[in-house]
Amino acid sequence: MKTSYRIFFWEGLVLVLFAALTLFFVSFETVYELLFPIVFGGIGLAGLVLGLVLYLIDLSKTGEKRQGETMGAGRVKLTTKFGANAITYSAVFLGILIFANILGSGHVKKIDLTSAKVNTLSDQTKTVLQNLPAGTELTMVGFFKTGEARNFEQLAGKYKDLDQRVTYRSIDPDLYPEEVKRYAVSERGAIAVSCDRPGQSPEQKQTADRCTGQTNITMDLSEQGLTTAVIKVSAPQAGKIYFIQGHGEVPLDGAEERGYALIRKGIENENIVLEPLTMLTSAQIPQDARALVIAGPTKKFQPEEVAAIGNYLQGGGRVLAMIDPQTETGLEGLLAGYGIQPQNNIIVDRQVRMYQGSVLGLDPIVVNYGPHEITKKFGENPTLFHEARSLKIITEGRLDGVDTQPLLNTGEESWGETDFGFFAKQGVDPTFDPAKDSKGPLVLGAVAERTFGEGEAKKTARLAVIGDSDFIGNKYAPQGYNADLFFNTLNWLTGQEAYISVRPNSFAPDVFTMTEQDTALLFFASVFLLPQFAAMLGIGVAIRRRR
């Protein structure tokens, strides 16, 4: 009883005091700020009253009793016992810590807790290193002034942790001019990446297509920069990819929102050679074309141009067509032969916008992907599109041997709007008409493959169609997995499935939005609750030890 009234009284007093302190620190502008003094102050007052009541009851029954010498001697023995136990437990705990550190010293495990995984090498880097030929030695040499190579060594060390065939070193160009001359480096900060197979004979190196002693110099001290250099010295050349022009296609060098300047730089990082192709002058596809890209044409292709693209596919060619809404390209019949029919609509999807909540919009977000090599590593990560049209997988009129699969699927709340008149009505949202519109989920991207011939004459044509060309424009390419979708599609088209991956993440801070309730809770937890809990715990321990 004696211990109980002391605990109730003193703990109640602490609660009342901390509740009173809030009067000096809080403005009480929100309802959440009123909860702390009311709730904890009320509990504290109840504790004070209960403690006083128990104290009066205890006085009326027994009064104060003194403990005799026997109890005192027992207390000494008990204290000695607890002290010995504390020393023993501390020694055991210390021993466990030492043993755990000895075991863990040889087994280092790093955990990256950032949402963008900025401290972890990307899937692309892992894929590139895994595809290095057997017997490869990959060397990274950084030319930095003494004391300035720390960032390079940390980044290169991650590559070595991933693959022991990687070696790296830093060189001060002022101290070792012969190394500067050897690697033909012109300035500090350069990084030379070399790939070689020492066991190969000169004859073998002449016939090999990669890792034969090539060196690439980069000034980009980032994972993207190093991995690009590794690709250029180790990956086989993907060949030329031609961007067809002359029909209002997206400008390859355009710096505007719709342009492809950003994505062009990324394509070059993939060890791919880009060439524009104007078919108006000659409706012929170059013999060295590994793939064709048709990006958002706004005018119809001429019949001879369509025939040339069709013949190219018949010969085992590879084509990526990105076709926007409200455009007739003249390619519709060709695409139908491969089981893909662009629909005359625009996809409307429900999306969440800051400060607006759930609204209708023309920027569909795809998180549902078909079971295909291109998107197999995406999981449920998003790709974002802008003013896209849907596609339909058809079998009527499809060529023999064609296998067509959906690649990108919109959500169930989306639909294909066929009435484009809402564009002219400001402030008017489109509405679903079950008689005219197509209910989601809709196909936004599809792929087709056709194998024909036998033996050495066997060929495989590949076609990818996406109902939007804006998703890799300068505005949208950095969003979600947009760039990965495009690069992986090119990898699949050119037969380099081994390099399909997710590229390095740029820095993205880990942030979260706090509501009014969250802010109040965080403030009270850090300023009042934790100190209050510590004070109450200390009082409780002190009272029990005085029993």
- What is the C-alpha separation between 340 and 446, in angstroms, rounded? 7
The 3-state secondary structure of 407-469 reads: EEECCCCCEEECCHHHHHCCCCCCCCCCCCCEECCCEEEEEEEEEECCHHHCEEEEEEEECCC
Cα angle value 484/488/493 (rounded, 5°): 155
- What is the C-alpha separation between 119 and 128, in angstroms, rounded? 18
What token pair was written down for 23? 């009067």
What token pair was written down for 161? 């942790």
CA dihedral 303, 305, 310, 312 (to 10 degrees): 160
Averaged over successive runs of 10 residues, the pLDDT of the chain (547 residues) comes to 67 75 64 69 78 74 51 52 62 71 61 61 87 88 91 93 93 90 88 86 62 84 88 78 94 90 83 84 84 95 94 94 96 96 92 48 91 91 94 94 95 92 75 92 96 83 97 92 93 86 57 54 68 71 66
Q: How far is CA 287 from CA 58, 291, 317, 450, 491, in A?
A: 103, 11, 10, 20, 19
pLDDT, residue 337, reads: 96
Q: Tokens 């480096």 sit at which residue?
A: 185
Task: List phi, psi (to 5°) of 399.
Answer: -65, 155
- What is the C-alpha separation between 459 and 232, in angstroms, rounded? 28
pLDDT, residue 276, reads: 92
- What is the C-alpha separation between 463 and 446, in angstroms, rounded? 8
CA pseudo-torsion sign 68, 70, 73, 74:
negative
pLDDT, residue 326, reads: 94
CA pseudo-torsion sign 415, 416, 422, 423:
positive
Task: Count the Cβ atoms, other than its own, within 10 Å of residue 23.
Answer: 10
> How is domain 240-499 classified at the architecture level of CATH?
3-Layer(aba) Sandwich (3.40)
Amino acid at 312: Y
Q: Which of 527, 468, 478, 525 is nearest to 504 (CA)?
A: 478
What is the number of residues in the chain? Answer: 547
Amino acid at 346: I
- What is the C-alpha separation between 91 and 111, in angstroms, rounded? 30
Q: How far is CA 76 from CA 8, 79, 309, 401, 546, in A?
A: 28, 5, 98, 93, 13
Distance spanning both ends of the chain, measured CA to CA? 11
- Partner residues linked to 140 by β-bridges: 168, 193
> Which CATH number, 3.40.30.10, 3.40.190.80, 3.40.50.300, 3.40.190.10, labels domain 123-234?
3.40.30.10
Is this prediction's pTM over 0.95?
A: no
Amino acid at 498: A
pLDDT, residue 313, reads: 95
Judged by DSSP in three states, 108 sits in coil
What token pair was written down for 168? 């790296």
